[in-house]
Chain A
Amino acid sequence: MRHSWFQLALLCALGAATTLVLAVLLAQIGYSGLVQPLTAMGDLAVWQAIWLSFFCATVAASLAIGVAIPSAYALARWQFPGKTVVDALLDVPVVLSPIALGLSLLLLFRTAPGVWIQTYVVRFVFEVPGIILAQFILALALSVRVLKATFEDVDVRMEQVARFLGCSPWKAFCYVVLPLSRSGLLAAFILGWARALGDFGASVTIAGAVKGKTETIPISIYLNMASVDLERAVALMLVLSVTALVVLVSVRLLGRKAV
C-alpha cells in the first residue's frame, strides 16, 4: 500500500512520542540493570516508603471521592448563580504548581484558625496528615472533574421516572445514578489515587522530607538521589512506573466498559 506524506508524518510523530516515553522508562533499568534495584527492594526503608505512599494515597483518594460525589452531582444537576466560578475554582489545584499549593497550605496553618487546628485537632505541618491533606486536594480536583462529566451523562429523565415510581431524591441517586456511574466512579477514584501517589511538590512543601517519617515514594526518590543512592531510587521509580501503567490501562478498560 502506498503511504501519503501525511500518513508518514502521523506515523513519525506517534513513533517519536512512544519512543521517548519508552526511552525514559527503559533508562531506569538501563542504568543499573534489574538486579541491583530488585536487591534494593529487600530494603526495609524502601518498603516503608511504598507502604506510606500507598496508605496516604488511598486515604486521600477515598476522602476525595467522598467529597467529590456530592459536589460533582450538585454541579452536574443544579443551576445557580456563580456556578461557573465554583466550577473553575475546584479546577485550580490541577493547574496550580504543586509547590505553590503546598506553600499555600503552610501559610494557611500560620493563620489563627490554622494554628488552632494544629494545636487542638491534628498536626499537619511536617506530619503524615499534611501529606494526606495535600494529596486530598489534588485528588479532589481530578475526581470532581471526572464525576461531573459522569453524572451529566446520566439522563435526568431516569431520575425523574424513578421519582414517580416511588423514590425520594436520595433513593433515586442511590438506585439509578450511582449504579449507572459505576465506571466513572472507579475511574475518578483511580485517577485521584494515582495523582496522590505521584505527588512530590505539595507533599514535600507541607510535610518536609523527613527520612523514615514523611518519606513517600517520590520524596524517597528525591532523598536517595541527593545521597547518590541511585539503585534505591531506580527501584522506587520502577514501582511508580509499573503502578502508573496498571492504572492507566485499567482506566481505559473501564472507559470501554462504561454503560
Chain B
Amino acid sequence: MIRVEGLSVSYGLFWLRDISLEVKRGESFVLLGPSGAGKTLLLETVLGLKRPERGKIFIGGRDMTSAAPEERGVAYVPQDLALFPHLSVRDNILFGPRVRGNDLAEANKEMLRLAELLDIAHLLARKDVRTLSGGEKQRVALARALITHPQVLFLDEPFSALDAYVRRHLQIQLRDLQRSLGLTLFQVTHDQEEAFLLADRLAIMMRGRIEQAGTPLAIHQHPANPQVARFLLMQNLFEGEIEAVEGKRVRVRIAGLRFDAVAQSEMDLRSKAIQIGIRPEEVLIVRKDRPLRDDMRLNLFEGEIERIINLGHRRLLRLRLFHCPDDDGLRLDCALSSRAARDTQAKEGDSIEVHIRPETIVLFGQQANLTKEPSRSLI
C-alpha cells in the first residue's frame, strides 16, 4: 500500500537519509523511536507536507512523491487533532464529504455508523468541540478521518495527550477497529507499549535512520543492535569474551562469570569479543523454599540486592552478581511484578540466587562504549 524508496529529507541541520520502507494493505505499521529521532519528519514527508530531496513515495501503487495532499487519498490525524473549533461535532465529521461534494444522505448514514463504532453517537448534537474531553475529541477526529474512506490513516502520536486509563482504552479500541475494518495504519509514537499493542509491523527509528523493522515479537526478542536494545529497555548490556562455541551454544565470560547463550543461526562468532543483552524481566530470582529444577543449574549466579526501585506496578531490583563475595562483580537489573516482589519478600542487602535462561540472552556483534554497569535508562 505504501512504498518508500531511498527517501532523503532535511529539516534545518537534521537529515533523514536513504529511508526505505513498505506498508502492506490492511497492515498496522508503527514507527517507534525516541523524541527527536525524525519520526514526525518522515511521516510528514510521506504525507507530502515536506518535500523530499531524493527518493520516491508510492501510495496504492501510484507515484505520489509530488502529489498534493488532497490527491493522495489518505487521512491524517495530527498530535493536537486539529478539530475545527468553528464547527459542531457533526459538521467536523461531515467536513470531508461536504468539501468533496459527496452525497450527504450517504455521508450522514456513514457518520451514524462510525459514531456507533466509536461510541460518540451521543456527542453528535454537541455544538462546541472545545467542550469535549480528550478521549472524545480523539474519537471525533478519528470519525472525521475515517468517513472519507482513506487508503491509509496516518496518526502522529495520537494518544500522547490522554490520561493513562483513557489512552489504553482507546488504543485497544483503535486496534479492534483497524482489524475489523481492515484499515491500513501508519502511526508514529515514542511509547513502546502503544507500539507493541498496535503494530502488525514495527520500525525502530533513531537519529534519522531506521535501525530495525519487523514484527513486534521479532524485534522484542532480537533487537538488531545494542542501541535498539537499550531503547527497548534491555538495559543489561555487557561486553564479554567468547570462551567456547558448540553448535549454536555459546559460552561468554563477563567479569569472571560464565553465561551460556544460544546464538541466532546467521551470527558470526569468529571474533572473540561479543556483547550480550539480558532483559530485566528475564532475570529469575531463585526461590530458596523450592527445589531447584535441573534446567536452572545453567546460568545460576550468586549475588545480592543492592537497591530496590519501586515503579508502582513493578519493582526494579539492582543486583550485584559475583563469582565470590569479594569480587566487584557485575551489576544487573531485574524487573519483578509487584506481586512477585511481594512473594519473594526481597529486601535490599539480601543474598540471592538468580537464573537466566540461555535462550533469553541476546548476542550482539562487537561495538564500543559499553560498561559493566546497566545503562541509566531505568524506565
Contacts and interface: CB of A to CB of B under 8 A. Distances in A.
Given A171-B99, A175-B99, A180 B82 contact: no
Contacts of A164: 47, 69-70, 72, 74-76, 145, 150
Q: Does more than half of chain B's interface fall in helix, strand or loop, or is it mixed?
A: mixed
Interface in A132-174: 155, 157-158, 160-168, 171
A179 interface: yes
Interface string B70-91: 1010111110101011100000
A259 B74 CA distance: 29
Contacts, number: 59
B78 A160 contact: yes
Contacts of A157: 78, 80, 82
Nearest to A176: B84
A165 B86 contact: no
A162 B85 contact: no
B216 to A, nearest CB: 28
A183 B95 CA distance: 22
Interface string B84-123: 1110000000011001100000000000000000000000
B86 A180 contact: yes
Nearest to B150: A164
A166 B84 CA distance: 15
Interface in A195-240: none
Given A160-B69, A166-B70, A179 B86 contact: yes
A165 B96 contact: yes
Contact of B144 (A160, A165, A168, A175): A165
B21 interface: no
Contacts of B77: 161
B49 interface: yes
Contacts of B75: 164-165
Nearest to A178: B86
Nearest to A161: B82
B217 to A, nearest CB: 32
B82 A166 contact: no
Contacts of B148: 165-166
B325 to A, nearest CB: 60
B68 interface: yes
Contacts of A166: 70, 96, 99-100, 148
A163 B70 contact: yes
Q: Which of A166, A171, A182 has the most CB of B within 10 A?
A: A166
B82 A168 contact: no
Contacts of B47: 164
A193 to B, nearest CB: 24
Contact of B86 (A155, A160, A168, A259): A259
A165 B47 CA distance: 13
A161 B282 CA distance: 44
A170 to B, nearest CB: 11
Contact of A180 (B49, B70, B85, B95): B85
A237 B231 CA distance: 73
A179 B148 CA distance: 22
Of the candidates A158, A160, A165, A167, the one having the most CB atoms from chain B within 10 angstroms of its own CB is: A165
Contacts of A155: 80, 82
A158 B100 CA distance: 17
A162 B69 CA distance: 9
Contacts of B84: 158, 162, 176, 180
Given A167-B70, A180-B85, A180-B86, A161 B78 contact: yes
A182 B87 CA distance: 13
Contacts of A259: 85-86
Contact of B99 (A158, A160, A162, A182): A162
A158 B72 CA distance: 17
A182 B85 CA distance: 12
8 contacts: A157-B78, A160-B82, A161-B77, A164-B145, A168-B70, A179-B86, A180-B84, A259-B85
Given A155-B80, A161-B77, A175-B95, 13 more contacts: A158-B84, A160-B78, A160-B82, A161-B76, A163-B70, A164-B47, A164-B74, A165-B96, A165-B148, A166-B70, A167-B99, A175-B99, A176-B84
Interface of A: 155, 157-158, 160-168, 171, 175-176, 179-180, 182, 259
List the 3 shortest-distance A-B pairs measured between CB atoms, nearest first.
A165-B96, A163-B69, A166-B100
